[in-house]
A and B are shown apart, each in its own frame.
Chain A
Amino acid sequence: MFGQYLADGIILGSTLALGAIGLTLTYNILNFANFAHGSLLTWGAYFAWIIVVAFGGVQGATFGPLSFGWPLVVALLFTAVMTSILAIIVDWLVFRILRKTNIQVSLVIASFGASLLLRNLVVVIFGPEPQYYSENIQIAREIFPGVRVTPDQIFVVCLSIILVILLHLFMTRTKLGKAMRATADNTSLAQVTGININNIVRWTWIVGASLAAVAGVFFGLTVQILPEMGFNLLLFLFAAAILGGVGSIYGAILGGMVIGIAADLSVLFISPAYKPAVAFTLMILVLLIRPSGILGEKTR
């Protein structure tokens, strides 16, 4: 059983890692804990669902053993763009104005409000019932003795790894990525170095929201699409980002994996209802030993 839950944990961890990266980026560059980030995951899942449905419903030709075909690939690109636009609109309507006041608490509370609004908007538009990208039955295969996973789950883990590598290359090899790191490191110096901060803010939302959208699709693919999915995942995302070290992208990835695996392994010992509690207990334990998180920098 251990192997099976470990595999489940890695699958959940892939989703959490992508979600937590966006959370940590907005924290790092915009300096606030964005409670609306979970809603970006939800909207990401639904934007993709629109495309899948538009391409002839939930049935259709699929890629080999996977439960989906081309429509989902198009949907992934579409949802990355749409979720980025949504994030930029929310930023423009709400956060941009509050950023000027420089009171972090108002930003956090406003993000909570935006989160509720976005979640209820999903219910109004798409209804409260769960949705699926595919009604094809997936047969889980045994990849190791006692460990069964579906092809979709393998796809989720592989694409997560690819995206994390691409993100690493973007942040360390491109001028824009370096400028984002520079702005996160020292915003006022970035300004007098000639970096247009508004431009960096926009790209932060694009990167964070795109990854959130993909994470939302991953959750929809491996579990289901629900209006409250993002909100339910939000606590895990915060636990992951904080445990890994807030502000560190690699910390968010590691934190996502640790939280995902720990939550699923805990099912061996206690009821699945306690998964969030396990995530937070683990987070608190790590913070007691390393207050800045596993990969976090010591605060100056």
Chain B
Amino acid sequence: MSEPHREVVLRTTQLEAGYTPGVPILRGANVIVHAGEIVTVLGPNGAGKSTLIKTIAGLVPVFGGKVELMGRDITGIKPHRMVTEGIGYVPQVNNVFAKLTVEENLEMGAYTRKTGVAERIEATYALFPDLARLRHLPAGKLSGGQRQMVAFGRALMVEPKLLMLDEPSAGLSPKLVGMVFENVQQVRDSGVTILMVEQNAKAGLMISDRGYVLAEGREQIEDRADALLKNPEVGELYLGSKGGLL
């Protein structure tokens, strides 16, 4: 669904980044996300998937290239400023404030917001009705699936232009994986553009519009999600079979 007339939300150009100077993990990654899309980044372990998302969130030093959000250059901005730029980021682990209540987690999500906090909290409860019931519980006491909702809700409080999810299904039971991906679709349907990294390639692609396969720090394949699911190269990478993921 990468029709050319669609607005580009995120564009990385020849992005190089890493934790140690001289040791780039990303080696010239080019990724584009259009408005309203779900884009999934796949790839073997160590390919730099999480690093890509963390770099966009401002957590990894950039050595070269550019990150643009809605045409604005946001390369190398401090992480806490990325939020005001319009980046929402849900880390893979420890993605809630465990000792804070659900409601306090959402309030923290709105830390940079001046107005409309109460309305946003109500909107989040409308999106995830379970959370309304649990609002006064510490987030650390919730189940994995509920915690993931808090994490999404927290990141959505500022109405980000782009929501980035780092392996949202990691560590969840198969039943919960389905639920979390339903949530991801729900979030997109509410008008949010999503870039996610996923180990669970098949489930991730099933709800995505497009996908990238990342290896050795740069994109190797870019295609529509349904095409990637049938692509034997992708199947080989994940299942060791030549038949594609479907």
Chain A contacts to B: CB under 8 angstroms: 175, 178-179, 181-182, 185-186, 188-197, 297
Contacts and interface: CB of A to CB of B under 8 A. Distances in A.
B107 interface: yes
A260 B59 CA distance: 44
Interface string B89-125: 1010011111110001001110110000000000000
Interface residues of B, number: 26
Given A178-B107, A182-B108, A188-B91, A194 B97 contact: no
B83 A192 contact: yes
A175 B113 CA distance: 11
A193 B104 contact: no
B111 A195 contact: yes
Interface of A, helix, strand, loop or mixed by DSSP: helix
Contacts of B95: 189
A297 to B, nearest CB: 7
Given A189-B91, A192-B89, A194-B83, A181 B100 contact: yes
Given A175-B107, A178-B107, A193 B83 contact: yes
A181 B97 CA distance: 9
A188 B97 CA distance: 10
Interface of B: 57-59, 79-84, 89, 91, 94-100, 104, 107-109, 111-112, 154, 158
B100 A192 contact: no
A195 B80 contact: yes
Given A181-B100, A193-B109, A194-B81, 20 more contacts: A178-B100, A178-B108, A181-B99, A182-B97, A182-B100, A182-B108, A185-B97, A186-B94, A188-B59, A188-B91, A189-B95, A189-B96, A191-B79, A191-B80, A192-B57, A192-B80, A192-B82, A192-B89, A193-B111, A195-B111
Contacts of A197: 80
A190 B99 CA distance: 13
Contacts of B81: 194
Most chain A CB inside 10 Å of its own CB: which residue of B95, B108, B112, B158: B108
A185 B91 contact: no
A280 B84 CA distance: 48
Given A175-B111, A178-B100, A178-B108, A194 B94 contact: no
